[in-house]
Structure 1
Amino acid sequence: MEGNQILKQRMDAQGFTQTELAEAVNADLRAAGYEGTVSDRTVRNWLTGKTRWPHQRQRAALEAVFGCPVNELGFVPREDSSCSVPEDPVLRRRFISATTGAAMAAAGTVSTAPAYAAQARIGMSDVQRLLSKFAVLIASDHRHGGKRTIETQASALAGEALALQARGSASQRVRGALYGCAASFTSSAMWAAIDGRRFDAAQRHFDRASSLASMSGDPTIQFRIWSHAGSLFRHMARPADALAANDVARRLPIARRDPMFASLGHARHAAIHGLTGENRAVRQALGHAQDALQQADPGEQRPVWMNAFYDQAELESLALAAYLSLAAYEEAEAHAHRSLALLRPEMQRSRAITTARLAHAQLGQGDIEPAVATAMSIPADPAGQHPRVTTMLDDFGNALRITAPSSEPARTWDQYTRDSRRSPQ
């Protein structure tokens, strides 16, 4: 027997390694209230055919991860299961009330709590517990970014937040906070999908997140979601839609009340204007972003996602992106150096992206040898495997071959990329 080739093909299609699939299944199991006990060895047993029919909880989690019935993943029921009552995965994720059911549909998840268990009192301590898990996920995102496991884990956290709605009574304040958590977590799934260039998935997360955000009443969450939508359309090369979405974020009350939010809105607007070639608009937006950032109170309490990434280094990075789009390479390089000097050590993904952009800026000025050296300085693993980084480095190689096809730096780069592909990952 050749093992479960169908599962292997589905894993390859979605970019899962054995370890990543185990993490995704465990994330769904934890969201359903169970222990995450799946390991890469478990997945290996599925692939080799040693385990032809996972147990019930794992089957339900696999269906959630791949979005299809488990028998479409190459699994075959045991002979003695033919007389058993068919499993209904809806029972595992059934709606507990009409209100929570609508929220679950918006988030793409459903509760696993039985109706008779809805007696406990849910409080802000439960919200804080979720936010602590979220902080860990945010840290992982800044180290790696774009990984499907981060997207899956963020979605699972959103399901966990909504499941709490069904498990007990809570004040209106707590319920609003739980919807806010679910919206924020779904927004993180959206950003991971954007970062991984899985744009269809990102748009689905956007639809869910915006519905949840409206139920939360939290303007900071609404800002994040619409700002992410602007970034999504910018990466899809749809600047008109990007400007419209980012304008929604910039017009929210939080952007008028807190200069930090205003600064981020202006900086992302500048990056979008770069795509349309509007030099004056880029400079104006960056000026507004810098002024607002200087006015922001660093001691003001803000969401963990804002504190985790937006600062002067990120503003410089967005300015770099804007000037690269304008082909203003000298200015782009200056912003790249400033961003790299200010980036916090844990921002590995951001450092790799900024370094790749710096290489483009140097190449655009004809500084071929420094450009190649800069591109080769990006660590191969994990930063160099980030989807956005690999795309930028591929584009860099193409531009290098056009600019100096027979030069020594071009030959050095080609050899480097060939060696990198042969290296074990």
Structure 2
Amino acid sequence: MTRLPAQQVTVWLLGLMVLNVQLRSRMAERRMTKVELAHEVNLEIKVLTGRLGTVSERTVHNWLSGSTRWPPEKIRRALKAVFACTPEELGFVPTGRARTTPEEDVRRRDFIAAVGGTAATALTPTLASAAGSRIGISDVQNLQRRFAEVIASDHLHGGRISIESKAAALADEALELQKHGIATQRIRAQLYASAAAFMSSALWAAIDGRRFDAALEHHQKAASLAAMSGDSSIQFRIWSHAGSMYRHLGQVGDALAANDVARGLPVARRDPLFASLGHARHAAIHGLTGDSNAVRRSLGHAQDALDRADQASSRPVWITAFYDQSELDSLALAAHLAAGNWQDAEACAHRSTAQRRDTMRRSIAITTVRLARAQLGQGDLEPAVATAMSVPPEVSAHPRVRRMLAAFGTNLHERAPGSTSDLAWTAYAHDTWRTTT
């Protein structure tokens, strides 16, 4: 029997498999595993259909290997939402059977109508119809409306790569308007502010999803755009986010420095609501140092400023959408928890939960897990486990919430290894996370 040379065998095998290099590259850019991509796609399918998808790690493997050249339509739409690009740009190739007939086009339109057209309209172009078109306030207002949609999606879902991708793509659209349109200096400044706002949302989504390398890159671009805009309110958001990023990384000095930049901006000196948020986040950073006096001092300043803030004042949507007494109590909870002030932390958790808006499901879950840790710190094992188990399974799949619950489980095991509470939590976590990934 004649043996083929090794090079010919390799070429033959590659011809059979047709590896999906584009999808692999997109995943590598986001440092995304097969499991993470499957989870993101399943969540987007739930947005489309109301039911969680069934994509598995094996499914993603088939995409990457080329075994599946053209996934079903709802999966293609979910992939488009995750990566903010077409299936073809992800390396998928329509098969002969995938070429549509007029009847199939009708069914596709019916499908889009049934799910509300959410994914189809998520990235509607905002570019001027032709190069050299005049850009006006209506274009800026359109960008601002879409920014409000990104904020709403972040509060509902948070941390998802699809939110990060969409926000970054919208920033690019704003810059394309800047590049090709004719506009006054004031409009150009607002376009830079819009691009910076979108990048700040991409930055926060990366932080919330614990993709810190991507967050660092987004911060650099966002800070540059914000500086060109001259808008101190969006500069505040970006540097305040940077402080939170460094806090989550455990880099206390960098966190304090970044938050000091935010607190020193004109908007923080002019508007007590911004000042309050700056002080509250400073308290959370001080918690990492264990300095309870500094924590209480910063929280006192934050509360005083919040009490002075005029709630009727016109402010950017990103701060009015989330910062209130409940968020201040949530940041106080984080600060006291980090400092080991368990009773203070528990009290803050209850106050925050009682006032939290129902739409902020991720924030409620984070507060709930922190409450469980505060209870655990006081030795209340059974109440702590019951509190942790009260987090809805679909929300516990969020990267940040998942890591917090995992840390809770580790702390519980270290405190009471083999106890009834420890065994109950281990079994619950295994069963819950197995069905949500």
User: TM-score normalised to the size of structure 2?
Assistant: 0.76
User: Which residues in structure 2 correspond to 1:101-180 (within 5 Å)?
Assistant: 117-180=130-193
In structure 2, the partner of 1:231 is 244
2:371 to 339, 358, 372: 358
For residues 358-396 of structure 1, the C-alpha deviation after alignment (integer angstroms, 9 at most, x for no partner) is 000000001111000000000110x10111111111111
Counterpart Cα distance in 1 of 2:145 and 2:326? 25
For residues 178-227 of structure 1, the C-alpha deviation after alignment (integer angstroms, 9 at most, x for no partner) is 10000011011000000001111001001001110111010101111111
User: Which residues in structure 2 correspond to 1:274-289 (within 5 Å)?
Assistant: 274-289=287-302
Q: Does 1:256 align with 2:269?
A: yes
RMSD: 3.1
Change (3 A) 1:22 1:120: farther
Change (3 A) 1:378 1:3: farther
2:38 to 2, 8, 17: 17
Contact 2:23–2:91 (8 Å) recurs in 1? no
In structure 2, the partner of 1:291 is 304
Q: Does 1:380 align with 2:393?
A: yes
SS of residue paired to 1:118? coil
Contact 1:20–1:149 (8 Å) recurs in 2? no
Counterpart Cα distance in 1 of 2:304 and 2:158? 29
Contact 1:4–1:49 (8 Å) recurs in 2? no
Contact 2:40–2:161 (8 Å) recurs in 1? no
Residue 133 of structure 1: how far off its partner (Å): 1.0
Counterpart Cα distance in 2 of 1:21 and 1:369? 33
Change (3 A) 1:374 1:21: closer
Counterpart Cα distance in 1 of 2:291 and 2:332? 13
Residue 117 of structure 1: how far off its partner (Å): 3.5
In structure 1, the partner of 2:333 is 320
Contact 2:84–2:166 (8 Å) recurs in 1? no
Counterpart Cα distance in 1 of 2:312 and 2:390? 36
SS of residue paired to 2:321? helix
Number of corresponding residues: 361
Identity score, percent:
57
Letter in 1 for 2:186: R
Counterpart Cα distance in 2 of 1:324 and 1:168? 50
Q: Does 1:346 align with 2:346?
A: no
In structure 1, the partner of 2:283 is 270
Q: Structure 1 segments of 4 or more deviating over 3 A?
A: 1-12, 17-23, 43-52, 73-76, 111-114
Unaligned runs of 5+ in 2: 1-15, 45-54, 72-79, 96-124
Residue 409 of structure 1: how far off its partner (Å): 1.5
Q: Does 1:50 align with 2:62?
A: no
Residue 128 of structure 1: how far off its partner (Å): 0.8
Change (3 A) 1:45 1:360: closer
Q: Does 1:394 align with 2:406?
A: yes
Contact 1:113–1:166 (8 Å) recurs in 2? no
Residue 424 of structure 1: how far off its partner (Å): 5.1
Counterpart Cα distance in 1 of 2:384 and 2:168? 39
Letter in 1 for 2:202: A
In structure 2, the partner of 1:243 is 256
Unaligned runs of 5+ in 1: 24-39, 53-60, 79-110
Letter in 1 for 2:365: A
In structure 1, the partner of 2:217 is 204
SS of residue paired to 1:169? coil
For residues 44-70 of structure 1, the C-alpha deviation after alignment (integer angstroms, 9 at most, x for no partner) is 988544359xxxxxxxx99x979xxx7
For residues 260-292 of structure 1, the C-alpha deviation after alignment (integer angstroms, 9 at most, x for no partner) is 000000000000000011111100000000000
Letter in 1 for 2:260: D
SS of residue paired to 1:310? coil
Contact 2:269–2:275 (8 Å) recurs in 1? yes
Residue 6 of structure 1: how far off its partner (Å): 5.1
Letter in 2 for 1:421: W
Letter in 2 for 1:16: L
Letter in 1 for 2:324: D
SS of residue paired to 1:153? helix
SS of residue paired to 2:311? coil
Counterpart Cα distance in 1 of 2:202 and 2:275? 23
Letter in 2 for 1:221: I
Change (3 A) 1:19 1:379: closer
Contact 1:359–1:372 (8 Å) recurs in 2? yes
Counterpart Cα distance in 2 of 1:236 and 1:19? 24
Contact 1:3–1:49 (8 Å) recurs in 2? no
Counterpart Cα distance in 2 of 1:259 and 1:357? 27
Change (3 A) 1:171 1:380: same
Residue 113 of structure 1: how far off its partner (Å): 7.5
SS of residue paired to 1:244? helix
Counterpart Cα distance in 1 of 2:18 and 2:436? 24
